[in-house]
């Protein structure tokens, strides 16, 4: 890559680079898989932070949305903060392909070509070097666990899968997840695996290095962890089993045991939450149902039965104590390597506030998420296989009970409410993003509203 003259904004002049990049980013951001505001135009774009990581590569935090740009240390206004790594070069190159953002027309970067630097192997390698050697770059902090050294010279490749973040694989040995949508505070995908590693829990790959920022607020930007290159995710394994007509109950049973191991370790690593408040939980679930039914008319005939599932919480026991959980558990968040199951991606639902994702919840919420995932797998091709899903659900719960000391199936009212809440969320998601998939959660809605089994 040709050398690029350094571009370091002077204090109080962060607006200057946006005169170069603003229009290009307004067009480029909504096309990215990880951009959360696809349903609205980028009405306002503000530069919160810019750091030259190395010649030809700029690290940016930008605020997209409406409202004024927050002052340093202030509360972010409505909108989202995104992390960008931009390559800047003098001449365009056909090798940039879809990484190309565009050629700058005016401002400090006029005449230069800008692209997503994560697609550039040189930039990706230099980023790893930053993580291998802890230090500072402006407001950025690069830190690592000295007991887990990372070798140099690992060849990078960018994962092409659709996801809410961006991930780089280094030599099939490590994976770096960069959080595209940044919120103030410690990201659970760093906090939780680190805490579990200290507990000696081998079900979760431990962080070996990470990056964070101190401006415009403290936030986690990325985490480097071991990459299980010989592993397959649970979603792929379950679909392969279905296609081959194979039973999956043994794997589901072992997965239940693994998830119980993780929950037990989480309960030891973090303080317990307050005693269960079923009435407040039921009220929140009912509120989400009302909002979803307003957006998805197909839900409306089932609202009375679904409300009954939530109302039943007031008459059932509160179940296990609230604790830190995974928060977005499904078959795509677990990996099987050899005979062992591993749990990954503790970020939770990225659309939820970070404070909510870091708070304590009933572990039944995770269990309900996995039960819904078995149902999704069984309905990927016709004829649907509800019996396959039922057997997997039973096996998962049995495996969980064998390790955890309590049986989710005996918390019927609690489990039904959390599974119903998850299905309502799925209906809203599918209606907005994948209408062809809407029949999958709607089948569960009908079952939960009528029988609740």
Do 107 and 20 touch, CB atoms closer than 8 A? yes
pTM: 0.89
The pLDDT score that the predictor gives to residue 278 is: 85
Please report which confidence band the pLDDT of residue 163 belongs to, taking 50, 70 and 90 as the band edges.
confident
CA distance 165 to 402: 35
Please report which confidence band the pLDDT of residue 13 belongs to, taking 50, 70 and 90 as the band edges.
very low
Domains of the chain: 83-90+98-227 (no CATH), 232-449 (3.90.1200.10)
CA distance 252 to 407: 15
Residue 160 has pLDDT above 90, yes or no: no
Q: In whole angstroms, how large is the CA radius of gyration of the chain?
A: 23
CA distance 376 to 438: 11
Share of the chain above pLDDT 70, in %: 92
pLDDT digits (tens, 9 = 90+) for 102-150: 999 888 888 899 999 999 999 999 999 999 999 999 999 999 999 999 9
**Phi-psi sector, 123: left (phi>0), alpha (psi -120 to 50), beta:** alpha
The pLDDT score that the predictor gives to residue 71 is: 43
Residue 1 has pLDDT above 50, yes or no: no
Orientation of helix 412-433 relative to helix 278-295, angle to 10°: 30
Please report which confidence band the pLDDT of residue 382 belongs to, taking 50, 70 and 90 as the band edges.
confident
Torsion sign, CA atoms 316, 321, 323, 329: negative
Residues 6 or more apart whose Cβ sits within 8 Å of residue 404: 260, 263, 264, 320
In the predicted model, what is the mean pLDDT of the chain? 90
Residue 214 has pLDDT above 80, yes or no: yes
The pLDDT score that the predictor gives to residue 42 is: 83
Do 27 and 78 touch, CB atoms closer than 8 A? no
CA distance 122 to 364: 45
By mean pLDDT, which of 197-201, 270-274, 358-362, 387-391 is the weakest?
Answer: 270-274
The pLDDT score that the predictor gives to residue 164 is: 86
Do 210 and 224 touch, CB atoms closer than 8 A? yes
Do 257 and 400 touch, CB atoms closer than 8 A? yes
CA distance 171 to 188: 25
Residues 6 or more apart whose Cβ sits within 8 Å of residue 89: 1, 2, 4, 56, 112, 113, 115
The pLDDT score that the predictor gives to residue 39 is: 62
Do 305 and 440 touch, CB atoms closer than 8 A? no
The pLDDT score that the predictor gives to residue 38 is: 65
Please report which confidence band the pLDDT of residue 276 belongs to, taking 50, 70 and 90 as the band edges.
low
Please report which confidence band the pLDDT of residue 244 belongs to, taking 50, 70 and 90 as the band edges.
very high
pLDDT digits (tens, 9 = 90+) for 72-105: 444 444 679 999 999 999 887 778 888 999 999 8
Q: Is 244 helix (H, G, I), strand (E, B) or coil?
A: helix
Find the mean pLDDT for residues 28-34.
Answer: 90
H helix or E strand, kind and range, residue 252 = helix 249-269
Share of the chain above pLDDT 90, in %: 75
Find the mean pLDDT for residues 308-326.
Answer: 90
Torsion sign, CA atoms 382, 386, 392, 396: positive
């Amino acid at each position: 890559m040709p050398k690029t003259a350094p571009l370091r904004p002077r204090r109080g002049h962060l607006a200057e680079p946006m005169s170069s990049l603003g229009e290009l980013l307004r067009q480029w951001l909504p096309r990215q898989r990880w951009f959360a505001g696809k349903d609205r135009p980028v009405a306002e774009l503000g530069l919160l932070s810019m750091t030259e990581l190395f010649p030809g590569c700029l690290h940016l935090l930008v605020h997209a949305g409406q409202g004024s740009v927050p002052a340093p240390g202030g509360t972010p206004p409505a909108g989202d903060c995104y992390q960008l790594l931009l390559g800047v070069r003098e001449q365009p190159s056909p090798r940039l392909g879809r990484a190309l953002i565009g050629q700058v027309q005016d401002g400090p970067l006029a005449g230069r070509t800008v692209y997503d630097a994560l697609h550039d192997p040189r930039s990706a390698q230099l980023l790893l070097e930053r993580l291998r050697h802890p230090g500072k770059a402006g407001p950025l902090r690069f830190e690592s666990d000295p007991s887990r050294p990372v070798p140099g010279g690992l060849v990078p490749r960018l994962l092409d899968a659709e996801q809410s973040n961006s991930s780089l694989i280094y030599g099939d040995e490590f994976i770096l997840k960069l959080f595209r949508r940044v919120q103030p505070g410690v990201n659970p995908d760093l906090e939780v695996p680190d805490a579990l590693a200290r507990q000696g829990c081998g079900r979760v790959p431990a962080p070996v290095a990470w990056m964070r920022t101190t401006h415009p607020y403290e936030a986690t930007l990325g985490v480097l962890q071991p990459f299980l290159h010989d592993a397959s995710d649970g979603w792929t394994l379950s679909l392969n089993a279905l296609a081959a007509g194979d039973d999956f109950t043994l794997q589901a049973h072992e997965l239940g045991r693994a998830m119980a191991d993780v929950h037990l370790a989480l309960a030891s690593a973090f303080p317990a939450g307050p005693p269960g408040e079923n009435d407040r939980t039921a009220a929140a679930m009912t509120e989400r149902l009302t909002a979803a039914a307003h957006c998805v008319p197909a839900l409306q005939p089932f609202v009375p039965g679904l409300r009954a599932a939530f109302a039943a919480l007031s008459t059932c026991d509160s179940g296990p104590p609230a604790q830190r959980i995974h928060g977005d558990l499904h078959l795509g968040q677990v990996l099987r390597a050899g005979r062992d199951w591993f749990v990954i991606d503790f970020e939770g639902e990225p659309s939820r506030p970070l404070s909510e994702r870091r708070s304590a919840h009933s572990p039944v919420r995770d269990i309900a998420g996995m039960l819904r995932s078995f149902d999704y797998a069984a309905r990927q091709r016709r004829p649907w296989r509800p019996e396959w899903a039922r057997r997997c659900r039973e096996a998962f719960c049995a495996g969980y009970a064998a390790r955890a000391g309590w049986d989710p199936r005996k918390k019927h009212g609690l489990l039904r409410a959390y599974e119903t809440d998850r299905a309502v969320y799925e209906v809203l998601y599918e209606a907005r993003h994948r209408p062809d998939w809407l029949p999958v959660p709607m089948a569960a809605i009908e079952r939960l509203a009528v029988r609740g089994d």
